[in-house]
Structure 1
């Protein structure tokens, strides 16, 4: 189970349609924007729990990720079943544990997906300005933790998502996604690190 299923990615591509929209002068939002780190490369681990409406037990998965600014995202699920999703400006590629690969989306066929990696940066790095283009953003503080509550502005996004919530400090530590179907996904990030600040040869090759 991956965080960013291809059908959801198609909806998410609308997030940055007006990415340069200026924000209102909200002191809390401005403070969060200053506080959040924007490294060239960010690595870490994730734990994901998805509660599907009508089912008692949540679906759980965990793994690691690499976010490389201007290159893409490697989202590697380790449990319960190994798989990998590689997202670049040109395509979304899934790789299964038997080594087989499949192109989920191609920019030549879906030009709008060129903004997908920027969307992921926005979600995982707390890029409030980018997120605010398609979401109403409410910011608040809980001690040293900032919280961003996002409500979709467009009817298209509202068909996919009811709300998103980001919590963090220097980094985004937790993302909660509530879908229109009432399915709820909680992703917790840990072990976040900015070093090494460049991709390894293997990581770079996977993002080609």
Structure 2
């Protein structure tokens, strides 16, 4: 007995729907690891400069604490991004930086992206997701007036974890952030726990 073509098409489309990778699955996937360690390369492309400004360093993302962003080159500078805001380490320890609205918004956004908080992102962006769990691309189109003044769109690529974030700014500048060697296998070290606790 031959299988009717119409029934086959219907079966394929239904099974395709059942296995479609959606925002909730992406959120769940990115929210799973409690700690992620990795290194990053950030390229800032400015219209006025022929070459991008490149900075490199390491990061620690802890689900219950926030993000340690440890810049190694071109200069050494440690940052901590958490619900309390951004802090920078100096000779006296961690100092909370003034809460500038666009900067604060950007950091809240950055944490939401890395932690897979799609409900937080959906408040400010229209989200378009393509791909599957092992390889996906998420496009964020700003909804809020404040974000529309800063970004035209944000592209995020990843698999099990976020691998690349591209920020396209309204004035033509852009930032590409590549997260490398990301691993969710190590817990926080004592030093890292101390950094988050201060």
- The residue aligned with 1:47 is 41
Give the superposition deviation at 1:89. Answer: 2.4
Runs of 4 or more, structure 1, over 4 Å off, are 98-102, 115-118
Give the superposition deviation at 1:116. Answer: 7.7
Of residues 112, 121, 133 in structure 1, which corresponds to 2:123?
133
Of residues 186, 191, 194 in structure 2, which corresponds to 1:202?
191
**Which has the larger share of helix?**
2
How many residues are aligned here?
176
Higher-RCO chain (CA-CA 8 Å, sequence separation at least 6): 1
Give the superposition deviation at 1:34. Answer: 4.5
Bigger-Rg structure (1/2):
2
Change (3 A) 1:154 1:60: same
Note the alpha carbon deviations across 1:70-124, whole angstroms, 9 max, x for none: 212110011111111112222422235x777643136xx98xx5x8876433211
Give the superposition deviation at 1:139. Answer: 1.1
Give the superposition deviation at 1:135. Answer: 0.2
TM-score for both structures, normalised by structure 2:
0.77
Question: Considering only aligned residues, what root-mean-square deviation do their CA atoms show, in Å?
Answer: 2.8
TM-score for both structures, normalised by structure 1:
0.73
Change (3 A) 1:81 1:182: same
Structure 2 residues without counterparts, runs of 5 or longer = 1-19
CA contact (8 A) 1:37 1:170 kept: no
